[in-house]
Amino acid sequence: MMNPEFSENCIIIVDPAMPIHHEAYAIIDYNGELYFRQYIELDSAKVMRCLNSSYPDIELTGDYQIRGCVVQQKQRKQKTLHYYLKDKGKGGNFSKQGEVLEKK
């Protein structure tokens, strides 16, 4: 199985109605904290596994709630800034607010 990539600024789409299953990525409410982790079933144990391997697995003991499974991810698009000339027909250098700094 290929590992999905979740970049720091991606948007995840979570379906609260999707049943949890082994190796699903999910939002899990555990001990009053929300986690975005991979849900793993090992024999009788259920654990949360972080994508970053420097964090240990957390065994789910006691009460926990699956808030939903991740069904899709989207990368944020870089916003393109468009500046329009206030002074039609003349080029120049403009500030971020669109003010003319230097006319050509």
Cβ neighbours of 78 (radius 10 Å): 7
Query: Structural domain boundaries of the chain?
Result: 11-74
Q: Is there a contact between 48 and 37 (Cβ–Cβ < 8 Å)? A: yes
Q: Is the pLDDT of residue 85 over 80?
A: no
pLDDT at residue 1, as a whole number: 45
Q: Phi and psi (nearest 5°) for 87?
A: -100, 95
**pLDDT > 70 fraction of the chain, expressed in percent and rounded:** 70
Most confident of 9-13, 50-54, 94-98: 50-54
Q: Tens of pLDDT along 27-71? A: 999 999 999 999 999 988 999 999 888 999 999 998 999 999 999
pTM of the model: 0.66
Tell me the two tokens of residue 34: 């929300």
Architecture of the domain whose range is 11-74: Ribbon (2.10)
